[in-house]
Amino acid sequence: MRHIYYCPLRWADMDALGHVNNVVYVDYLQEARVDMLSVHAPQSGGEELGEGVVVARHEVEFTRPLHFRPEPVRIESWVTQIRAASFTMAYEILDELPDGTRTVYCRATTLLTPFVFTAERPRRIRPEERAVLESFLEPTGALR
Amino acid sequence: MRHIYYCPLRWADMDALGHVNNVVYVDYLQEARVDMLSVHAPQSGGEELGEGVVVARHEVEFTRPLHFRPEPVRIESWVTQIRAASFTMAYEILDELPDGTRTVYCRATTLLTPFVFTAERPRRIRPEERAVLESFLEPTGALR
Amino acid sequence: MRHIYYCPLRWADMDALGHVNNVVYVDYLQEARVDMLSVHAPQSGGEELGEGVVVARHEVEFTRPLHFRPEPVRIESWVTQIRAASFTMAYEILDELPDGTRTVYCRATTLLTPFVFTAERPRRIRPEERAVLESFLEPTGALR
Amino acid sequence: MRHIYYCPLRWADMDALGHVNNVVYVDYLQEARVDMLSVHAPQSGGEELGEGVVVARHEVEFTRPLHFRPEPVRIESWVTQIRAASFTMAYEILDELPDGTRTVYCRATTLLTPFVFTAERPRRIRPEERAVLESFLEPTGALR
């Protein structure tokens, strides 16, 4: 099941070239992940995975420039793999018209590790967290 | 030839978990690229490649957390491939001790396309730009 | 007439102390201003005042810490003074409960100057811009 | 005694209008404060005042636009008033030529309160902190 998050743009997201800067897209992914796991998770138990993770790897493909506009951009996110102490998420940043036409701005994959920040060390995924991740599991990645 | 840029951290680079946020590393890559191609290029002619490019793809591997400290972090960057209308850069974000010991925080690869922003379209790499990129050419990538 | 803009927070707005950083509040003011003058203006003609201005002065009073939450924060903004080549805006960042109780996080005042960016010089306010600003005119400032 | 901090600019500090955005200047002030009190304080004891404070009020006057350039900008900061549980700082962001000519981009004043973040409440200034603040005391403010 894909999670859908409508991410509002900010005027300040644009760089000196008038595009939403590539760095800001990576923040959009982070905001979508926090929304999916900590804010609007379908069941409780996985909240810590939204904020209490470190990113181990990003692959981000930019397919089209974005400019500031009042309409939020749609971010779909899901889980593609769950391991003992890490999981992989996939994302698409896009607009979808009522007729189903999709304009994709960015596709991405992120490898994440739950982390105990007070002890500065990684930890294993707990059973109740695995259950939340499984509710988003879809084996197909985002990148072509 | 690798380009070396010492990137100063900002206190504001840290997130609520007290780490330099993963998104900010991606800005560090951008700052290193602008420095390499627009500010401290070894020869003139490639200035537009620093700022006048769009990122087509990022692969970023985070190997160790960074915390705010007054010492800048060292970013090594180089070029791994040059095509007609795009080029690939590699980066390492690290500390190097006087005895040569290296602590790597991040390794990354970026695919870049020169872009005419007034016309919103990609363009080919010019001969004088190719010469600048060739001076940084090293076939080995950063990612393991 | 006060303009009302609901500004969504981002997880990344928090600093290492777990508060929305004071710097980010100043961006919230900017986003509210763009929304008021360029996006949701009650009449056309003032669009350039949202983005094509420089800030000459900010006074920002922080009254209460903000933490990340999914609910947007409400920003009320209005115009307190209109001069030949500058105008003053006032803002309140707050939550308002259905019963009218208000929790104010920030009050601010900004002096703005329309600016011709291609020529890098200030310019006068045009009549149609003045009409838009007048629709938001309320002489009472935000600061105590 | 004024503290001097050379703040490096980032390409990403520029907004869609090609200027360092007004919001970013406010981060420059924060970075200068952390440097003055936590990093390069003349005597130990005041470190917590750099990071463990909340901003109660900013007054920021923008006098000239800044554009990205490799040279850092100079920030002078000092203390203008010390109270039981708050203190006021003043700042100037400027370039100074070897002949002493000064180009000022920004003048600012900030009211700060030491804060116990674990308890979310303000606290009084400790004697050893007062001593550090006094070493920067200069009664003249920055704003005209």
pLDDT tens column, D91-142: 999 999 999 999 999 999 999 999 998 888 999 999 999 999 999 999 888 8
- Closest residue by Cα to residue D56 from C26, C92, C106: C106
Q: How far apart are the first and last CA of chain D?
A: 20
Looking only at the bridges linking them, the beta strands covering A102-116 and A87-96 are antiparallel
Tell me what pLDDT residue D76 has: 97
Among D30, D59, D62, the residue with its CB nearest the CB of C54 is D62
Q: Treating both helix axes as pointing N-terminal to C-terminal, what angle do B22-34 and A22-34 enclose, rounded to 10 degrees?
A: 180
The torsion of the CA quartet D75, D78, D80, D81, rounded to 10 degrees, works out to 130
Given a cut of 70, the residues of chain A with pLDDT beneath it are: none
The encoded tokens of residue C87 equal: 């105008």
The torsion of the CA quartet A134, A28, A40, A47, rounded to 10 degrees, works out to 70
What mean pLDDT, rounded, does chain D reach? 94
Q: What is the residue type of B51?
A: E
Which pTM does this prediction carry?
0.96
* Segment among A37-41, B74-78, D86-90 with least mean pLDDT: A37-41
Cα R_g (chain D), whole angstroms: 15
> Do residues A85 and A125 make contact, with C-beta atoms less than 8 angstroms apart?
yes
The encoded tokens of residue C110 equal: 């900004």
Cα–Cα distance for residue pair B10/A67, rounded to 1 Å: 27
Chains that touch A (3 or more CB pairs under 8 A): B, C, D
Cα–Cα distance for residue pair D101/D75, rounded to 1 Å: 15
Q: Is C11 helix (H, G, I), strand (E, B) or coil?
A: helix
- Closest residue by Cα to residue D68 from D133, D130, D30, D21: D21
Tell me what pLDDT residue A40 has: 82
The encoded tokens of residue B79 equal: 């070029």
Q: CA of B84 to nearest chain C CA: how many angstroms apart?
A: 33
Count CB atoms within 10 A of the CB of residue C116.
11
Q: CA of A40 to nearest chain D CA: how many angstroms apart?
A: 27
B-interface mutation test, from D5, D11, D23, D117, most B Cβ less than 10 A away: D11
The full DSSP string for A35-68 is IIIIIS-SSTT-HHHHHSEEEEEEEEEE-S----
Split at pLDDT 50, 70, 90, the class of B48 is: confident
Cα–Cα distance for residue pair C27/C35, rounded to 1 Å: 12
Q: What is the ipTM of this complex?
A: 0.94
**Are C8 and A11 within 8 A, CB to CB?**
no
Tell me what pLDDT residue A21 has: 97
Tell me what pLDDT residue A3 has: 96
Instruction: Please give the residue of chain B at the shortest CA–CA distance from C12.
Output: B15
- Closest residue by Cα to residue B11 from A46, C22, C117, C25: C22
**Are A35 and C8 within 8 A, CB to CB?**
no
Chains that touch B (3 or more CB pairs under 8 A): A, C, D
Instruction: Please give the residue of chain A at the shortest CA–CA distance from D12.
Output: A15
Contacts across the C-D interface (CB distance below 8 Å): 71
**Are B17 and A117 within 8 A, CB to CB?**
yes
> Do residues A70 and A60 make contact, with C-beta atoms less than 8 angstroms apart?
no
What mean pLDDT, rounded, does chain B reach? 94
Instruction: Please give the residue of chain D at the shortest CA–CA distance from A21.
Output: D12
Tell me what pLDDT residue A142 has: 84
**Are C27 and A8 within 8 A, CB to CB?**
no
Split at pLDDT 50, 70, 90, the class of B82 is: very high
- Closest residue by Cα to residue D21 from A76, B61, A138, C55: C55
- Closest residue by Cα to residue C117 from A18, B38, B49, A19: A18
State what percent of residues in chain B have pLDDT above 70: 100
Among A12, A16, A68, the residue with its CB nearest the CB of D23 is A12
A-interface mutation test, from C10, C29, C34, most A Cβ less than 10 A away: C10
Q: CA of A58 to nearest chain B CA: how many angstroms apart?
A: 5
Q: CA of D83 to nearest chain C CA: how many angstroms apart?
A: 18
**Region of residue A100 (phi > 0: left; psi between -120 and 50: alpha; otherwise: beta):** left
> Do residues D25 and D10 make contact, with C-beta atoms less than 8 angstroms apart?
no
The full DSSP string for C74-107 is EEEEEEEEE-SS-EEEEEEEEEE-TTS-EEEEEE
Kindly list the structural domains of chain D, giving each domain's residue range(s) and its CATH number in brackets, ordered by start.
Answer: 3-135 (3.10.129.10)
Among C22, C58, C117, the residue with its CB nearest the CB of D55 is C22
Q: Is C7 helix (H, G, I), strand (E, B) or coil?
A: strand
Cα–Cα distance for residue pair A78/A89, rounded to 1 Å: 6
Contacts across the A-C interface (CB distance below 8 Å): 27
Interface of C with A (CB under 8 A): 8, 10-12, 27, 30-31, 34-35, 39-40, 51, 68, 70
A-interface mutation test, from C6, C7, C11, most A Cβ less than 10 A away: C11
Q: Report, as an integer, the average pLDDT of B2-17.
A: 96
Instruction: Please give the residue of chain D at the shortest CA–CA distance from A12.
Output: D15
> Do residues A40 and A3 make contact, with C-beta atoms less than 8 angstroms apart?
yes
pLDDT along chain C (144 residues), means of 10: 96 96 98 91 82 94 95 97 97 95 97 91 94 93 83
